[in-house]
Amino acid sequence: MQRNDIRNIAIIAHVDHGKTTMVDEMLKQSGTFRTNEHVEERVMDSNSLEKERGITILSKNTSVSYKDVKINIVDTPGHADFGGEVERIMRMVDGVLLLVDAKEGPMPQTRFVLKKALAEGLQPIVVVNKIDRPDRRPEEVIDEVLDLFIALEADEDQLEFPVIYASAKNGFAKLTVEEESDNLKPLFDAILEHIPCPEGDPDDGVQLLISNIDYDKYIGRIGIGKLTRGNLKKGQQAVLVKGNEGQKSVKVSNLYNFQGLGRTEIEEASVGEIIAISGVGDINIGDTLCSVDKVEPLPFIEIDDPTISMNFMVNDSPFAGKEGTFVTSRHLKDRLEREMLSNVAMKMEEVSADCFRVLGRGELHLSILIETMRREGYEFAVSRPEVILKRTEEGLFEPMEHLFIEVPDESASAVIEKVGLRKGEMLDMVPTGTGVTKLEFRIPARGLIGYRSEFLTDTKGYGIFHHLFDGYDIYRGDIRVRNRGSLVAFETGAAVAYGIYHAQERGNMFVSPGIDVYAGMIVGESSRLEDIAVNVCKKKQLTNIRSSGADDSLRLVPPTIFSLEQSLEFIADDEIVEMTPKNIRIRKKILDKVTRERLQKRAQQ
């Protein structure tokens, strides 16, 4: 049976090619919002971090109605670090809208998301977005997209993709570049015409593969997926198959479908619908809900393995417990285990009672988790990111990345030199003739750790780089990523202008007067290779000649304030970052100076 009244699509693209803006316009022009209703930009990016950073982090479901057909839409992230969010929803849809920038054309992440969609046999519609750009080049972009389809071994049906030209920002779509349009009607029509209807037997046993997990503080865990077979009713008894963990009898307490931006409770759902269920406490991504009389689980899509790991530890600094709400090992473990249930591309290993190793796709993937936990009131410490190595009979292997760079011509030589020092191998160099040079490298994943801020400095902020996982290769040897040591606080107290003034001669400071510091905390970057102990709490001795007011004349260099990502990039192997809801501090793993120096000497022997 075909459900002609439903279409299930995902919107996929490289980062910043307009996915979320397109969903906004589809919602507005389908009549989802009232005429007088105020709607924020990028309304699908509901997470506070998504709004701040202007990126999509989590896949989200919504729906619109057009010509009595319900179009279920899944908005997906564009960053490679959140590729797991794209992979897991591929079984939930029957086709994809592939958005490509009319100037930039197919980019690295375009290749990744399209490869996943084609492998699942999904029908694509190519949308050349931002067609209103003055520097657009639609004909060349379509040729590049076709070349990409061929390179990814698309079948004949997929190669016959329809093309829509659009401007999501201005809310129009058209079939040719020349024609006039002021709405998205051509795009809606293309979806109805080219995206296959969902198929399945409504009279057969229920089959619902859980592809996403949501959480509500009142009703608990909510499983989301496409009903590929049968009819499911509210209150129905069913069997939940949990992969290798066996199966269990469950009851579907509530049933929902997606209407606009919200969920609507329903009594019954039929084959082809994207629905949500509640009442099953330990439901996870990859589980299959089946009828009691016909238990046939569906295979879950293969998720790429993590490439980077970090240790999450209980905070044991002198300031521990002063600023956080959740500070114990139990709090930390429970929160990480909860994250693993919904974040399929992330894994966790318990190293000790107070330390947990978290494995993810990249620095951004892990830093988003860290920032989310920090805002939720968690206090903990994290180590420097490390790549995940694999040892086989043939030797030691490490993850590699395909690095794509665009830089001003005058910065190209500096970038090539720095990437070379990080064991990067140049694959291609293309001067565009517009003052920009395109570079491609194959580089160890660990060579990219801490490189972004250095890259932006070398390119004066004009450089752009993207990277994709490119398999494992033989270990390339040691990489020196930091050529300066740290300025380490010598005693605990409040930093004062006099102490900072004398310490800033040794390097670049991270603290200002009045900031509380402790012994072993890093308060600056040394101008030398080795660490230097400084006393930023030192006050001027007061005499009948000197007065405390003389400090006002001291000239202090403004301190460098690191973001979370910059802190993670800066730290060395013997340093960690202390996270609290109010502060991000960098410190030595071993706070005591004498113990630290003794261990360093022992390691050098």
Residue-wise pLDDT for 340-399, tens only, equals 877 777 899 999 999 999 998 878 788 889 988 999 999 999 999 999 999 988 889 999
Q: Flag whether 5 is marked binding.
A: no
Cα distance between residue 33 and residue 189, in whole Å:
20
Q: What is the pLDDT of residue 553?
A: 65
Q: How far is C-alpha 378 from the chain's CA centre?
A: 20
**Cα 250 from Cα 292, distance rounded (Å):** 10
pLDDT score, position 61: 78
- Of 592, 574, 502, 563, give the one whose Cα is nearest residue 538: 502
What type of residue is 478? D
- Residue 315 labeled ligand binder: no
Annotated binding residue at 514?
Answer: no
Q: Categorize the per-residue pLDDT at 241 as very low, low, confident or very high, splitting at 50, 70 and 90.
A: confident
From 354, 251, 363, 243, select the one nearest 303 (Cα to Cα): 243
What average pLDDT does the segment 94-121 reach? Answer: 85
Tell which CATH architecture fits domain 390-474.
Answer: 2-Layer Sandwich (3.30)
Strand partners, 311: 357
User: Which residues are 407's β-sheet partners?
Assistant: 437
Residue 580 annotated as lining a ligand binding site:
no
| pLDDT over threshold 60, residue 549 | no
Whether 125 and 98 have beta carbons less than 8 Å apart is answered as yes
Kindly list the domain boundaries of the chain, sorted by start residue: 6-194, 207-290, 390-474, 486-604
Residue-wise pLDDT tens digits, 420-456: 999 999 999 988 878 889 899 999 988 888 788 788 8
pLDDT at 39 over 50: no
Question: Dihedral through CA 158, CA 159, CA 160, CA 164, nearest 10?
Answer: 90
Would the annotation count 131 as a binding residue?
Answer: yes
The answer, yes or no, to whether residue 42 has pLDDT greater than 50, is no
> Of the given ranges (32-36, 135-139, 290-294, 451-455), which has the lowest mean pLDDT?
32-36
Summarised one tens digit per residue, pLDDT across range 16-35 is 777 778 888 888 887 665 44
| pLDDT per position as a tens digit, 168-197 | 888 888 898 888 888 899 999 999 999 988
pLDDT of residue 66: 85
- Is 85 in a helix, a strand, or coil? helix
Q: H/E element holding 240?
A: strand 237-241
242 is in an annotated binding site: no
Residue 165 has pLDDT above 60, yes or no: yes
Does the predicted TM-score (pTM) go above 0.85? no
Instruction: Please report the pLDDT score of residue 381 as a whole number.
Output: 95
Whether 10 contacts 89, CB under 8 Å: yes
Give the tens place of pLDDT for each residue, 511-539.
Answer: 999 999 999 999 999 988 888 999 999 88
Per-residue pLDDT of 64-97, as tens digits, reads 888 888 888 887 765 555 556 677 777 788 898 9
Average pLDDT, the chain: 84
> Cα(126)–Cα(386) distance, rounded to whole angstroms?
38
Which CATH number is associated with domain 486-604? 2.40.50.250
551-572 pLDDT, tens digit per residue, is 556 788 889 888 888 898 888 8
Phi-psi region of 231 (alpha: psi -120 to 50; beta: other; left: phi over 0): beta
User: 207-290 has which CATH code?
Assistant: 2.40.30.10
Kindly state which CATH superfamily the domain 6-194 is placed in: P-loop containing nucleotide triphosphate hydrolases (3.40.50.300)
HSE value, Cβ hemisphere, 13 Å, CA-based, for 214: 19
Does residue 46 register a pLDDT over 50? no
Q: Is 17 annotated as a binding residue?
A: yes
Q: Is 94 annotated as a binding residue?
A: no
